[in-house]
């Protein structure tokens, strides 16, 4: 009898917790208010931290915070107390608890070294929070969970009740394909608006697909219930085509990849001849092309703003605070990474001349918003062949040819 009243009180407490009164919202009638959402997400996060531990690396944490907060500032629920933490496990995964508690696994940071890739992942997870996907799932299942509570009372066991109410169970249950598609779109939008290469989330999709094929699908987090990989890639490519991204990345049959800018009969090219930091040449070209596109979106390109940050074992070229290219010892060969990065920066300064000429001739190209209905309709009538990638003749019209080995 004592157990009956104990569990009954707990059931009533849970019901009151989830049905706490919230202000009337005609557009979105939420059963779980924002304050309760945050409390639930924080509790779930604490459970994850107890299970895995938090990885302590000031440099990686600062990077995660910098990228995460720049993306959260673009979402429609930027008022949430977003937190970004690294779970101490070699697994490659990430997840979002309600209320803005975002976790990435240490293995993900090792697998996606470029900021644009990590931005694609974080933007996707922030999208789940912004759209309240987990909370809506809990609300949808709430009455089923209450039936389990009453069943637990009848049997004298509260195990089913407790398992049904924790947020981590909702996360483990996964998202619908519609929710995952919406989060993909959010990730693309937030990363673009925050200034990261728009190719980042596409590369993430390719790499997760490859990882799943090699090691199996863990069935949750980044890997859970996504639409077919081909469909996700097709949608992302559609958004990229709307942007009319230049310069263009070109993957070559020999495994090399180029970043090519062509304007008024002149051509600039940067060539990657091999992989580095786990990214093959094609991915490196995608990231650089998208980053240079973002440079152009900021306004007329100022050559003196290309700078090199030397970290000894590797060097990175930035345009202001925007990461463009990381040079490793593998790239540099017999030279130091810093010397090679300086050569690359000099090549980018020559590219700036061509980019500014293109901007002057077509300034509207850098104001396209793929999330604007007006710009989407504008692109519908264009011929499909206009955005087709093709390699240009290396023997003519080349103003710069810088190779990354």
Neighbours of 269 (CB within 10 A): 23
Residue 312 is predicted with a pLDDT of 86
What's the pTM? 0.76
Q: Which of 236, 254, 281 is the last residue of a domain?
A: 236
Q: Phi/psi at 42 (nearest 5 deg)?
A: -65, -40
List, in order, residues 6 or more apart from 294 with CB less than 8 Å away.
195, 196, 197, 198, 322
Burial class (CB in 10 A: 0-12, 13-18, 19+), 97: buried
Same domain, 313 and 273: yes
Domain shared by 72 and 106, yes or no: yes
Q: Of 236, 266, 294, which closes a domain?
A: 236
Tell me whether residue 48 is in a domain: yes
241 within domain boundaries: no
Whether 65 and 12 map to the same domain: the answer is: yes
Shared domain for 280 and 189, answered yes or no, is no
Q: 361 lies in which domain range?
A: 246-404
398 lies in some domain? yes
- 8 A C-beta contact, residue 344 and residue 352: no
Both 105 and 228 in one domain: the answer is yes
285 lies in the same domain as 185: no
Positive or negative: CA dihedral 157, 161, 166, 172:
positive
Give me the pLDDT at residue 222, please.
55
What contacts 173, CB < 8 A, 6 or more positions away?
Answer: 137
Q: Where among 213, 236, 259 does a domain terminate? A: 236
**Beta-ladder partners of 276:** 279
60 belongs to a structural domain: yes
pLDDT tens-digit profile, the chain (405 residues): 444 333 333 343 344 444 443 343 433 456 778 888 898 889 888 888 999 999 999 999 999 999 999 999 999 999 999 999 999 999 888 999 999 999 999 999 888 888 999 999 999 999 999 999 888 887 777 665 555 544 544 554 444 334 334 454 555 556 778 888 899 999 999 999 999 999 998 898 888 877 766 655 554 455 454 556 677 888 888 888 888 889 999 999 999 999 999 988 999 999 998 888 888 999 999 999 999 999 999 999 999 999 999 988 899 999 999 999 999 988 888 999 999 999 999 999 999 999 999 877 766 555 555 555 555 454 444 434 443 333 333 333 333 445 554
Please check whether residue 122 is in contact with residue 110, taking contact to mean a CB–CB distance below 8 angstroms.
no
Residue 367 falls within a domain, yes or no? yes
- Structure token pair of residue 83: 């937190």
- Whether residues 136 and 203 share a domain: the answer is yes
Q: Cβ–Cβ contacts within 10 Å for residue 51, how many?
A: 10
Residue 105 lies in a domain: yes
Burial environment of residue 332 by CB neighbours within 10 A (0 to 12, 13 to 18, 19 or more): buried
Task: Verify that 229 and 257 share a domain, yes or no.
Answer: no
Residue 16 resides in a domain: yes
pLDDT of residue 392: 36
pLDDT at position 305, please? 97
**Domain co-membership, 256 together with 338:** yes
CA distances to 80, 82, 219, 371 from 126, rounded to whole Å, are 11, 9, 20, 17
| Contact partners, residue 45, CB within 8 Å, separation at least 6 | 83, 85, 97, 101, 103
Answer yes or no: do 219 and 302 share one domain: no
Residues 231, 257 within the same domain = no
Indicate whether 145 and 174 sit together in one domain.
yes
Residue entry with tokens 């009164």: 21
Q: 128 near 222, Cβ under 8 Å?
A: no
Is residue 123, in this structure, part of any structural domain at all?
A: yes
SS (H, E, C) the chain: CHHHHHHHHHHHHHHHHHCCCCCCCCCCCCCCCHHHHHHHHHHHHHHHHHHHCECCCHHHHHHHHHHHHHHHCCCCCCCCCCEEEEECCCCCCEEEECCCEEEEEHHHHHHCCCHHHHHHHHHHHHHHHHCCHHHHHHHHCHHHHHHHHHHHHHHCCCHHHHHHHCHHHHHHHCCCHHHHHHHHHHHHHHHHHHCCCCCHHHHHHHHHHHHHHHHCCCCCHHHCCCCCHHHHHHHHHHHHHHHCCCCEEEECCCCCEEEEEEECCEEEEEEECCCECCECHHHHHHHHHHHHHHHHHCCCCCHHHEEEEECCCEEEEEECCEEEEEEEHHHHCCCCHHHHHHHHHHHHHHHHHHHHHHHHHCHHHHCCCCCCHHHHHHHHCCCHHHHCCCCCCCCCCEEEEEEEC
**What is the CB neighbour count within 10 angstroms for residue 216?**
9
**Number of domains present in the structure of the chain:** 2
Neighbours of 13 (CB within 10 A): 10
């Amino acid at each position: 009898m004592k157990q009956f009243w104990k569990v009954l009180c707990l059931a009533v407490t849970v019901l009151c917790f989830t049905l706490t009164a919230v202000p009337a919202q005609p557009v979105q009638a939420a059963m779980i208010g924002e304050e309760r959402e945050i409390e639930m997400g924080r509790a779930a996060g604490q459970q994850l931290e107890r299970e895995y531990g938090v990885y302590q690396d000031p440099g990686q944490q600062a990077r995660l915070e910098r990228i995460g907060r720049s993306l959260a500032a673009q979402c429609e629920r930027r008022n949430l107390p977003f937190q970004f933490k690294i779970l101490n496990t070699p697994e490659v995964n990430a997840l979002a608890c309600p209320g803005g508690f975002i976790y990435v696994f240490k293995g993900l940071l090792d697998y996606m070294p470029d900021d644009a890739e990590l931005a694609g992942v974080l933007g996707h997870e922030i999208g789940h929070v912004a759209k309240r996907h987990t909370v809506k799932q809990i609300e949808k299942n709430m009455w089923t969970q209450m039936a389990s509570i009453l069943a637990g009372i009848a049997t004298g066991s509260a195990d089913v009740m407790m398992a049904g109410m924790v947020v981590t169970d909702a996360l483990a249950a996964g998202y619908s394909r519609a929710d995952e598609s919406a989060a993909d779109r959010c990730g693309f939008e937030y990363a673009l608006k925050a200034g990261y290469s728009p190719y980042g989330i596409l590369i993430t999709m390719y790499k997760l697909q490859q990882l799943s094929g090699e090691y199996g699908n863990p069935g949750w987090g980044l890997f859970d219930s996504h639409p077919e990989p081909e469909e996700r890639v097709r949608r992302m490519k559609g958004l990229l085509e709307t942007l009319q991204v230049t310069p263009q990345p070109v993957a070559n049959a020999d495994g090399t990849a180029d970043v090519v800018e062509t304007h008024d009969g002149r051509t600039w090219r940067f060539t990657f001849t091999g992989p580095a930091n786990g990214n093959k040449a094609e991915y490196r070209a995608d990231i650089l092309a998208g980053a240079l596109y973002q440079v152009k979106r900021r306004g007329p390109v100022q050559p003196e703003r290309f700078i090199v940050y030397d970290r000894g074992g590797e060097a990175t070229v930035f345009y202001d605070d925007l990461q463009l290219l990381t040079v490793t010892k593998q790239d540099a060969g017999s030279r130091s990474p810093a010397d090679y990065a300086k050569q690359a920066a000099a090549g980018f300064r020559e590219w700036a001349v061509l980019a500014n000429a293109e901007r002057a001739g077509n300034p509207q190209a850098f104001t396209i918003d793929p999330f604007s209905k007006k710009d989407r309709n504008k692109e519908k009538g264009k011929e499909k062949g206009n955005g087709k990638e093709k390699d240009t003749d290396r023997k003519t019209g080349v103003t710069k040819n810088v190779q990354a080995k």
